[in-house]
Amino acid sequence: MPLMKDQQTFVAVVGGGPAGLMAAEALAAAGQRVEVFDAMPSVGRKFLLAGKGGLNLTHSEAFEAFMHRYGVGEVSLRPWLQDFGAEALREWAAGLGVATFVGSSGRVFPADMKAAPLLRAWLHRLRGQGVRLHMRHRWLGFDAEGRLRFAGPAGELSVRPAATVLALGGASWPRLGSDGAWVPHLQERGVDVAALRPSNCGFDVGWSEYFRQRFAGQPLKSVAIAFEGWRQVGECVVTATGVEGSLVYAASAALRDAIARDGSATFELDLLPARPLDWVARELAHPRGPRSLSTHLKTRLNLSGVKAGLLWERVPKEVQADASRLAALIKALPIRVAAPRPIAEAISSAGGVRFAAMDEHLMLRALPGVFCAGEMLDWEAPTGGYLLTACFALGRAAGQGAAEWLRGGPQGL
C-alpha cells in the first residue's frame, strides 16, 4: 500500500511486535495516522511463538512483588507499569473479546491458551482505527537528512514521518525478526546503548561424553538451585552442552553477570529439596548389605536416572563411599557453568537503549521525535508474563508520548 505524498502527516512505528502494535494503538486512539513497518512477512511472530504452548500474558501476583521481578530495572519501569500493569492488560484483552484466567502458578493465560485469536482480534481493531501495516520493510537507519531508510519489496524507501516509535526488539530468536541490527544505527546518532546480552538462557557446563550421550534432553524435576543467597525450587533440563529450562532461566541474570565478572559461576543443585539434610544422611547411613550404591539410592531416597547420573558425574568415588559427605552433596551439588548459551538461543535479551538516553516520555534525547519501546530498552525480566507485560506497557507509553509530543512540539524529525 503506497504512503501518502505528504509524509509528515503520519507517525511511523518500526517493529510489529507487542510493543510496536501497542504504540500504534495508542497513537491511533489519539487521532494520529499510523504506518507500521516490519521486516518480517507478518507481525507478531515472536508473540505467536511465545503462545505456542499456552500464551502466558501476565502474572497475578501483588504489584510490589510483580515489580521486584524486574531487578535493577524496577525503578525505571515502575511509572509505566503503574499506569498499565497486569490488571489493565487483562482488561485490554477482555476488550478484544479474549477472556483470561489465573493458573495454579499465578500466571495469567487466555481462556483458550492461544495467542493467534488475540492477535487476529487486535489486528482487526487496529485496521479499523486506520493503522496500516507495511511488511518486509527492514529498517536501515537514517539517511543524511534524518529520514528513515527501509529496504522494501520494491527497493529502498526513505520517509520522513512526523514522529517515530522504534520497537525493534532485542537480539533473541533473530529468525523471528529481533536481531539487534538496529544497535549501530542508533549509536552512530549518539544514543547510549548497553551491549545486548542473553537473558532467560541456558548455560554450558561441559559434561563428560558418557553423561551427555546418556542424559541429554532429560528433565530434572523437583530440584532447587541456590546461588549467592537466592534459592528456588522448580524444574530444568540437562542439555548436550549444559542446563536450561525455567529454573535455570530464573537464575540466569545472576549467573551471566557472575561469569562476566569472574570467568565462571558455580550454583548448588539440591536434588531432594523436600527432604532435610539430616533425613538424607540417615537414609544413606542405613546398612545396604550386598546392594549396589545405585540400588541403595533408589531404594532409600528414590534417586535414580538423571539425578543419580549427576552424582556419578560430579562426585568422586571416594566421596560416594562416605555417607555423610554424599548426603551433603545430594543437598548441594556444585555445578560450574562456564558460559551462557548464545543470545540467539535465549528466550529474551538484556541490554539495549539506556533509560538515561530518553526523557520521561521515552523520547531519545539525541533524536527529538524518535521514541523507543519494548525489549530494545535496557531491562530484563524472568519468564512468567513479566516480559510481555512490560513490552505492552512500554509500547503504550511510547505511543502516548509521541502523540503528546506532536500536540505540543515541533513537527518532523
- Domain residue limits at 334: 203-340
Report the number of distinct structural domains present in the chain.
2
Retrieve residue 49's grid coordinates.
511463538
- C-alpha distance across the termini of the chain, in Å: 23
Spatial contact of 43 and 134, defined as CB atoms under 8 Å apart: no
Same domain, 208 and 267: yes
Q: Residue length, the chain?
A: 413
Same domain, 42 and 180: yes
Residue 2 lies in a domain: no
pLDDT at residue 164 is higher than 60: yes
Same domain, 72 and 192: yes
Same domain, 269 and 180: no
Confidence of residue 346 (pLDDT cuts 50, 70, 90): very high
Same domain, 383 and 290: no
Q: Which of 323, 340, 357 is the last residue of a domain?
A: 340
Angstrom distance (rounded) from CA 47 to CA 26 = 19
Angstrom distance (rounded) from CA 260 to CA 195 = 13
Same domain, 143 and 285: no
Domain of 107, CATH number, reads 3.50.50.60
Residue 26 lies in a domain: yes
Q: Which of 340, 362, 379 is the last residue of a domain?
A: 340
Name the pairing type of β-strands 132-134 and 33-37: parallel
Q: What is the pLDDT of residues 195-205, one digit of tens each?
A: 999 999 999 99
Q: What is the pLDDT of residues 37-96, one digit of tens each?
A: 999 999 999 999 888 889 999 999 999 999 999 999 999 999 999 999 999 999 999 999
Same domain, 42 and 118: yes
Same domain, 315 and 382: no
Residue 51 lies in a domain: yes
Instruction: Write down the pTM of the prediction.
Output: 0.92
Q: H/E element holding 341?
A: none
Q: Which of 318, 340, 362 is the last residue of a domain?
A: 340
Q: What is the pLDDT of residues 256-315, one digit of tens each?
A: 999 999 999 999 999 999 999 999 999 999 998 888 999 999 999 999 999 999 999 999
DSSP class per residue in 61-76 = S-HHHHHHTTGGGHHH
Confidence of residue 212 (pLDDT cuts 50, 70, 90): very high
Q: Can you tell me the mean pLDDT for 184-212?
A: 97
pLDDT at position 353: 98
pLDDT at position 7: 53
> Which is nearest to 156 in space by CA: 137, 142, 171?
137
pLDDT at position 289: 86
pLDDT at position 413: 35
Same domain, 36 and 164: yes
Angstrom distance (rounded) from CA 234 to CA 273 = 10
Same domain, 222 and 334: yes
Q: Can you tell me the mean pLDDT for 15-24?
A: 98
